[in-house]
Protein backbone atom coordinates (compact mmCIF):
# COMPACT_ATOMS: atom_id res chain seq x y z
CA UNK A 1 0.00 0.00 0.00
CA UNK A 2 2.46 2.65 -1.09
CA UNK A 3 0.79 6.04 -1.33
CA UNK A 4 0.69 7.43 -4.80
CA UNK A 5 1.74 10.94 -5.56
CA UNK A 6 -1.28 13.20 -5.27
CA UNK A 7 -2.68 14.56 -8.46
CA UNK A 8 -6.06 16.11 -8.06
CA UNK A 9 -5.93 17.34 -4.46
CA UNK A 10 -2.98 19.20 -3.04
CA UNK A 11 -3.96 18.15 0.48
CA UNK A 12 -2.98 14.54 0.45
CA UNK A 13 0.78 14.59 0.71
CA UNK A 14 2.21 12.27 3.34
CA UNK A 15 3.23 15.05 5.71
CA UNK A 16 -0.18 16.70 5.75
CA UNK A 17 -1.91 13.38 6.20
CA UNK A 18 0.32 12.63 9.15
CA UNK A 19 -0.39 15.96 10.80
CA UNK A 20 -4.12 15.46 10.27
CA UNK A 21 -3.85 12.06 11.87
CA UNK A 22 -1.93 13.48 14.83
CA UNK A 23 -4.54 16.16 15.30
CA UNK A 24 -7.17 13.42 15.28
CA UNK A 25 -5.28 11.60 18.01
CA UNK A 26 -5.00 14.76 20.08
CA UNK A 27 -8.73 15.33 19.70
CA UNK A 28 -9.51 11.78 20.78
CA UNK A 29 -7.29 11.93 23.83
CA UNK A 30 -8.54 15.36 24.83
CA UNK A 31 -12.12 14.14 24.74
CA UNK A 32 -11.30 11.02 26.64
CA UNK A 33 -9.65 12.92 29.45
CA UNK A 34 -12.35 15.54 29.53
CA UNK A 35 -15.09 12.95 29.99
CA UNK A 36 -12.99 11.21 32.58
CA UNK A 37 -12.44 14.38 34.57
CA UNK A 38 -16.15 15.19 34.37
CA UNK A 39 -17.10 11.70 35.51
CA UNK A 40 -14.86 12.13 38.55
CA UNK A 41 -17.31 14.81 39.65
CA UNK A 42 -20.39 12.82 38.61
CA UNK A 43 -20.93 15.06 35.62
CA UNK A 44 -21.36 14.24 31.97
CA UNK A 45 -19.28 15.98 29.35
CA UNK A 46 -22.10 18.30 28.34
CA UNK A 47 -22.85 19.22 31.94
CA UNK A 48 -19.18 19.95 32.59
CA UNK A 49 -18.98 22.17 29.53
CA UNK A 50 -22.02 24.18 30.58
CA UNK A 51 -20.80 24.45 34.15
CA UNK A 52 -17.40 25.69 32.99
CA UNK A 53 -19.12 28.19 30.73
CA UNK A 54 -21.30 29.55 33.52
CA UNK A 55 -18.42 29.67 35.98
CA UNK A 56 -16.93 32.38 33.81
CA UNK A 57 -20.10 34.36 33.37
CA UNK A 58 -23.85 33.98 33.88
CA UNK A 59 -25.77 34.01 30.64
CA UNK A 60 -29.21 33.40 29.14
CA UNK A 61 -30.15 29.92 27.99
CA UNK A 62 -30.15 30.95 24.37
CA UNK A 63 -26.50 31.99 24.60
CA UNK A 64 -25.51 28.68 26.11
CA UNK A 65 -27.11 27.01 23.11
CA UNK A 66 -25.10 29.21 20.78
CA UNK A 67 -21.88 28.37 22.58
CA UNK A 68 -22.65 24.66 22.51
CA UNK A 69 -23.94 24.89 18.95
CA UNK A 70 -27.14 23.04 19.72
CA UNK A 71 -30.85 23.77 19.97
CA UNK A 72 -32.06 25.78 22.99
CA UNK A 73 -34.48 22.99 23.87
CA UNK A 74 -31.49 20.79 24.54
CA UNK A 75 -30.01 23.25 27.01
CA UNK A 76 -33.18 23.17 29.06
CA UNK A 77 -32.53 19.56 30.06
CA UNK A 78 -28.84 20.02 30.80
CA UNK A 79 -29.45 23.05 33.02
CA UNK A 80 -32.36 21.19 34.65
CA UNK A 81 -29.97 18.47 35.80
CA UNK A 82 -27.33 20.92 36.98
CA UNK A 83 -30.00 22.84 38.84
CA UNK A 84 -31.26 19.61 40.35
CA UNK A 85 -27.83 19.12 41.89
CA UNK A 86 -27.67 22.65 43.16
CA UNK A 87 -24.74 23.62 40.96
CA UNK A 88 -26.63 26.14 38.87
CA UNK A 89 -29.68 28.34 39.31
CA UNK A 90 -32.03 30.20 36.99
CA UNK A 91 -32.52 33.86 37.70
CA UNK A 92 -34.83 36.30 35.94
CA UNK A 93 -33.26 38.92 33.71
CA UNK A 94 -34.33 42.31 35.06
CA UNK A 95 -34.24 43.82 31.57
CA UNK A 96 -36.28 41.17 29.75
CA UNK A 97 -38.76 38.96 31.45
CA UNK A 98 -38.56 36.39 28.66
CA UNK A 99 -34.99 35.40 29.35
CA UNK A 100 -33.71 33.32 32.21
CA UNK A 101 -30.15 33.81 33.28
CA UNK A 102 -28.33 30.65 34.25
CA UNK A 103 -25.71 31.24 36.92
CA UNK A 104 -23.48 28.97 39.00
CA UNK A 105 -24.18 28.68 42.69
CA UNK A 106 -21.45 28.72 45.32
CA UNK A 107 -21.32 24.94 45.06
CA UNK A 108 -21.19 25.12 41.30
CA UNK A 109 -18.30 27.52 41.29
CA UNK A 110 -16.33 25.27 43.58
CA UNK A 111 -17.05 22.18 41.49
CA UNK A 112 -16.06 24.04 38.34
CA UNK A 113 -12.78 24.96 39.98
CA UNK A 114 -12.00 21.40 40.96
CA UNK A 115 -13.00 20.24 37.50
CA UNK A 116 -10.59 22.59 35.84
CA UNK A 117 -7.83 21.58 38.21
CA UNK A 118 -8.26 17.93 37.30
CA UNK A 119 -8.06 18.61 33.58
CA UNK A 120 -4.55 17.42 33.08
CA UNK A 121 -4.48 17.05 29.34
CA UNK A 122 -2.10 19.20 27.39
CA UNK A 123 -0.57 20.24 30.65
CA UNK A 124 1.37 17.16 31.65
CA UNK A 125 2.20 16.45 27.99
CA UNK A 126 3.24 20.05 27.58
CA UNK A 127 5.62 19.81 30.50
CA UNK A 128 8.01 17.90 28.25
CA UNK A 129 8.30 20.87 25.94
CA UNK A 130 10.61 23.78 26.55
CA UNK A 131 9.30 27.32 26.74
CA UNK A 132 10.61 27.97 23.27
CA UNK A 133 8.90 24.90 21.85
CA UNK A 134 5.64 25.83 23.52
CA UNK A 135 5.85 29.26 21.98
CA UNK A 136 6.39 27.72 18.57
CA UNK A 137 3.47 25.37 19.11
CA UNK A 138 1.28 28.25 20.19
CA UNK A 139 2.09 30.23 17.07
CA UNK A 140 1.52 27.31 14.75
CA UNK A 141 -1.81 26.47 16.37
CA UNK A 142 -2.84 30.10 16.14
CA UNK A 143 -2.10 30.16 12.44
CA UNK A 144 -3.90 26.86 11.93
CA UNK A 145 -6.95 28.44 13.50
CA UNK A 146 -6.74 31.41 11.21
CA UNK A 147 -5.83 33.87 13.90
CA UNK A 148 -3.48 36.32 12.30
CA UNK A 149 -2.40 38.87 14.85
Partner DNA sequence: CTCGCTTGCTTGACAATGTGAAATATCGAG
Partner DNA sequence: CTCGATATTTCACATTGTCAAGCAAGCGAG
Q: With H, G, I as helix, E, B as strand and everything else as coil, classify residue 107.
A: helix
Interacting residue with DNA among 58, 99, 103, 119 (CB under 7 A): 99
**Nearer residue to DNA within complex by CB, 12 or 68:** 68
Nearest distance from C-beta of residue 72 to a copy of itself, angstroms: 18
Nearest distance from C-beta of residue 32 to DNA, angstroms: 11
**Listed residue (34, 55, 63, 45) closest to 105, CA to CA:** 55
**Nearer residue to DNA within complex by CB, 91 or 143:** 91
Residue 111: Cβ within 10 Å count? 24
Residues that bind DNA (CB under 7 A): 44-47, 60-63, 68-81, 90, 96-101
Amino acid sequence: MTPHTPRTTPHTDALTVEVVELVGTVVARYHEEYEEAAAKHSLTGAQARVLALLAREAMPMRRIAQKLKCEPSNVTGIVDRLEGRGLVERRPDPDDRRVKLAAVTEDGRETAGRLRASLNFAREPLAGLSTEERTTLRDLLRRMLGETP
